[in-house]
Structure formats: C-alpha cells, structure tokens
C-alpha cells in the first residue's frame, strides 16, 4: 500500500496524510463549540487541541481502501520530531478498565518517564507500529554518544482500539511506512478529528467516532499553564451518551450497532506544568471523570487506558550523569489542572463525535455520524444550547 501525501479521489486506494496542519481544510469541519454545545471548566487554547501545549506535535495517516480497509495510525510527539525528541518527559498512566493494550507502560510506571512518541492504531496493528517506532528511532534519533551502541525507545508506547466492525482488522493493513510518514508529517498546528488516523474505523456511543482533541489554558494566577487532551474514542452504548449533561442518546435511537460495550478509548493528556511522575498519574486518573461526563461506565469489554506527561523539566528527565534540580507544582495547586483535564477530556470526546461522518466499511457495515442538528434541537429544548455560537 503506497503512502500518498494528499487525498486521491480517483483511485480506489485512499491514503490521506493528516499531518496536524494538513492540506485538508480543517476550518470547514465544525467543532462542538461551533454548534453551540456548551462546556464547563475553563478556556480553550488557541487551537483547542493538544498541540496548544508548546512543543507537542501530532501526525496522522488515514488508510481507506476499497470496501474493507478503514484504519490508520495517529502519533503524539511530546517534544516534536526534531532533536528534542530524545528528551524524556515525566509521566504516568492509569487503566480504568484493562480490556485493551498500551505497550511500554510497565516502564512508565517504574521510571516515571514517557520516552518517545505515543502511537495509537487498531488492535491488531500494535506490533507492527511498535516495531516501526523502534526502527524510526534507530535511524532518526540515535544517542549522540553511547559506547554500547544502544538506540533509544526499545519499549515504545503504542495503544489501540478495535476497528473490526468497519475495517478488515485481520488484514494487517498498517505498515511501518505509515508510522514513518505520520511522524515525519507531525505538526504543532490544528489536529484533524473524527474518522482519521488511528480513529478511521472507530465507533463512539454507536455513532461514528475516532480522534478528538481539546485544550484548556489556565489563568495567570493559576500559573498560566496549558492542558491538552487527545482521544481515540471507540467506546460506549447509545443510551449512555450525554452531551452537555443531557441524555441525547436516549432520544436518538437510529442506527444502533452494538449489543454490549465492546469498544475502548485511549486518552493522552499533555501539559507544560512542572509535574512529577506521580502528579502526572493523578492527571491521567482525572481523564476518567471527563470520560464519565459523556456517559461512559467503562464496560467490561472496553479498554480505557490513559497516559499523561509533562513537558517541563526537560533536562532533569533525561540527564543521567549528575544530580539535577527539578521544579514541581505543589499538590495544593493542582486543582485547576484537574479541572482542566476533566473539561478538555469531555470536550475532546464530543469533538470526536461531532467530526464523525457516516461510514460504510467491512462487509457493508454502516455506522452513522451523529446527527448534529438533532443534537442541537435536543439541547435547545433543554435550554442548554449556546445559540450565539457561530455556525
């Protein structure tokens, strides 16, 4: 499968490189706020995306081929793809329900460090993407000096959700070159959402789901820090869905596709606040509360795994030859970060739904995009619609 740099609408093969600030017009895609959906907890950053955290880049490769291939890969680079990518971040993870996979987390737990990219794909492609990260790192980010010749990141962080309803998941269509292209094209700009990258074939609350992102900018008196969230949303049953606290899933019953909660969600939380690993883990836990605000109960069949990292203390997280000073935010000042994480997570999930579009895939299976006007009507009826929002 050849990687194409742009959308090819003529050939049956469509591989779209969604590189953060992609050639695809992101301005034409509505976000939840554009529809008047209100959100609590703070002010979004300039892009309302995880890339509002300075240094963070996102790259995506979307694979659509014939009737059966609907998949891809998304990468979050905590310090970008340049020379700074060698620097670790302090971080932590949290598993709300473990029916899923995120490689490398044993070392995250042990060391308190997030090293290298965080990649998200479909369940059966975790292995090839993991190996591809190692190959990429060996060629592009080798140590500057190491007598043993070891490379970096032999324990990559690669997470997954299952896209087998819309994608030929056993066809192993994600290849190393797709991971390479996603990293090479990563950008600190806008992040495409919905059925793109690793989220191409994903289903959320029985609507078309996928990638979503949002951010929060703390006030100066709270430190002025930024929190950004990216999700790959493939979870939930329709009756559970809440938008702005309103049970819209009870009213919109078209196109139900699941008898039980058998999907998953991966959540990545980034911040520039100076956090120690245990504090980053505390942020990862709070992502569960944002997930709950959209209605999820973390069902038995759902893999709900979250990871958080701080881009502060760059030298301290990487230096191994001497004692180094470390800055940290006192625990008493973490409340605003918790609130920002909960709010950005909720909004990122709803953004994934808003960007989702009806898709037909493997075996003719069709998943409907969330009917945006019906959602607006329901919210308006409950006096929860911000009608002054631009459309």
Active-site residue flag, 302? yes
User: Which among 163, 261, 304, 310 is annotated as catalytic?
Assistant: 304
Active-site residue flag, 25? no
Active-site residue flag, 304? yes
- Beta-carbon contacts of 212 under 8 Å, excluding residues fewer than 6 positions away, are 193, 194, 199, 230, 231, 233, 347, 348, 349, 350, 351, 352, 353, 355
- CA–CA distance, 106 with 65 (Å, rounded to integer): 35
Q: What angle do CA 49, 50, 54 make, to 5 degrees?
A: 110
Pairing between strand 118-122 and 359-360? unpaired
User: In this structure, what DSSP letter does residue 275 have?
Assistant: -
Residues 240 and 295: beta-carbon distance below 8 Å: yes
DSSP per-residue codes, 100-152: S-BTTHHHHHHH-EE-S-EEEEEGGGHHHHHHHHHHHHHHHS--SS-TT---S
- CA–CA distance, 211 with 204 (Å, rounded to integer): 10
User: Which among 88, 215, 262, 264 is annotated as catalytic?
Assistant: 264
Residues 209 and 352: beta-carbon distance below 8 Å: yes
Residues 381 and 247: beta-carbon distance below 8 Å: no
User: Which among 88, 125, 296, 302 is annotated as catalytic?
Assistant: 302
Where in the sequence numbering do the catalytic residues fall?
Answer: 264, 302, 304
């Amino acid at each position: 499968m050849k990687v194409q740099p742009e959308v090819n609408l003529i050939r049956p093969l469509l591989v779209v490189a969604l590189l953060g600030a992609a050639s695809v017009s992101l301005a034409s895609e509505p976000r939840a706020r554009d529809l008047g959906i209100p959100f609590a907890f703070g002010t979004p950053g300039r892009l309302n995306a995880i890339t509002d955290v300075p240094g963070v880049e996102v790259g995506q490769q979307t694979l659509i081929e014939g009737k059966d291939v609907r998949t891809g890969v998304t990468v979050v680079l905590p310090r970008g793809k340049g020379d700074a990518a060698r620097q670790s971040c302090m971080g932590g993870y949290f598993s709300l329900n473990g029916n899923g996979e995120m490689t490398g987390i044993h070392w995250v737990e042990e060391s308190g460090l997030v090293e290298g990219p965080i990649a998200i794909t479909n369940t059966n492609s975790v292995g090839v993407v993991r190996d591809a990260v190692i190959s990429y790192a060996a060629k592009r980010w080798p140590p500057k000096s190491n007598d043993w010749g070891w490379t970096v990141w032999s324990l990559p962080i690669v997470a997954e959700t299952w896209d087998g309803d819309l994608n030929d998941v056993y066809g192993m269509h994600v290849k190393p070159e797709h991971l390479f292209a996603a990293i090479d094209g990563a950008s600190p700009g806008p992040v495409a959402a919905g059925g793109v990258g690793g989220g191409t074939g994903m289903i959320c609350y029985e609507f078309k789901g996928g990638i979503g992102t949002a951010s929060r900018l703390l006030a100066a008196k709270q430190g002025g820090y930024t929190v950004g969230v990216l999700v790959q949303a493939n979870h939930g049953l329709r009756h559970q869905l809440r938008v702005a606290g309103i049970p819209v899933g009870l009213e919109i019953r078209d196109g139900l596709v699941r008898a039980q909660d058998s999907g998953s969600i991966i959540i990545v939380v980034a911040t520039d606040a100076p956090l120690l690993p245990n504090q980053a883990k505390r942020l990862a836990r709070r992502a569960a509360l944002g997930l709950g605000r959209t209605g999820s109960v973390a069902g038995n069949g759902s893999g709900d795994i979250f990871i958080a990292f701080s881009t502060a203390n760059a030298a301290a997280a990487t230096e191994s030859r001497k004692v180094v000073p470390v800055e940290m935010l006192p625990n008493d000042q973490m409340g605003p970060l918790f609130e920002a994480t909960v709010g950005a997570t909720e909004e990122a999930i709803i953004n994934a739904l808003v960007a989702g579009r009806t898709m037909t895939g493997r075996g003719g299976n069709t998943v409907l995009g969330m009917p945006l006007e019906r959602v607006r009507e329901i919210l308006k009826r409950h006096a929860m619609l911000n009608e002054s929002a631009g459309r």
